[in-house]
Amino acid sequence: MKLRDLMFVLPNLFTVSSIFCGFYAMTLCTGEAGPTQLYQAALAIFFGIFFDGFDGRVARLTKTQSLFGQELDSLADVVTFGAAPALLIFKWALQPLGIVGLFGAFLFAACGALRLARFNVLAIRSPHGGASRFFVGMPIPFAAGGLVSMVIAFQAARGGQLPEALRWPVFGAVVFLALLMVSTVRYRTFKDLKLSKRSMAVLAFILAGGVFIATRVHPASVLVAYFGLYLVSGLIESVLLLRKHLVEKKAAALAAVIDGDDEDDSDDDVDEQEVL
């Protein structure tokens, strides 16, 4: 086997490692899984996010992007960031809610699959091969990370069973993240991120905020804060983009009206000249 062929295998190894993390997490959630097993399952999915974040970068670095790798990555995401987090959150918080809790967990997995299918279709239609400044809808690894961060933060800070009073808020968070994945809210891909004084200042501010939360609240709470920050940033930026689009549309309509009036005036002048 040639070295070039081995380089094509390398990014797929990261993807397969992500699948293993999701599969291992699901095995931990089966049966009478206790808080310890659920905490370990959350950590396994978090490691899956790590592997998923590197497979594409390794492929671009080695120039081994392929349609096979793209499809494998989507299938891996369905397992590691769709089915595994849904099962985890069901066993951790939603199971006592009965059929409603089951529906909430299923909704997350189903919306994740729908989001990946839409992403693949848009990538095929895109002239840039899917490269864009924004994701359409929250990416499934970030949605899964939001659920996993809640489990890790709670188990690390308090441990034990989730209180009954928190089950419905968790259900609301699951449904909200599921709907965000199939929404048209724009989230940055950070593919166009370049080192500058502004970006370094923002990064320093985010890191300082993480240190503050870690020292004042709990280190595990930093994960929840970061995923929450990404969630809110997409909502805010989408509102700003929508406002900009409406302003541009209104300006274009006003310009069209003005142009129409100018044409009417010129037609009147022509008619007057013909009369004279």
Percent of the chain exceeding pLDDT 70 equals 87
C-alpha span between 91 and 38 (Å, rounded):
8
Question: Check: CATH 1.20.120.1760 for 3-193?
Answer: yes
Shortest CA distance to 27 belongs to which of 12, 13, 44?
44
Tokens of 123: 């990538």
Confidence of residue 276 (pLDDT cuts 50, 70, 90): very low
Domain boundaries, the chain: 3-193
Q: What is the pLDDT of residues 29-59, one digit of tens each?
A: 988 888 899 999 999 999 999 998 887 777 7
Q: What is the pLDDT of residue 53?
A: 84
DSSP result, 182-225: TS--EEE--TT----HHHHHHHHHHHHHHHHHHHHT-TTHHHHH
Q: Distance between terminal CA atoms of the chain?
A: 88
C-alpha span between 218 and 214 (Å, rounded):
5
Q: Whole-prediction pTM value? A: 0.83
Q: What is the pLDDT of residues 165-199, one digit of tens each?
A: 999 999 999 999 999 999 989 888 876 667 777 77
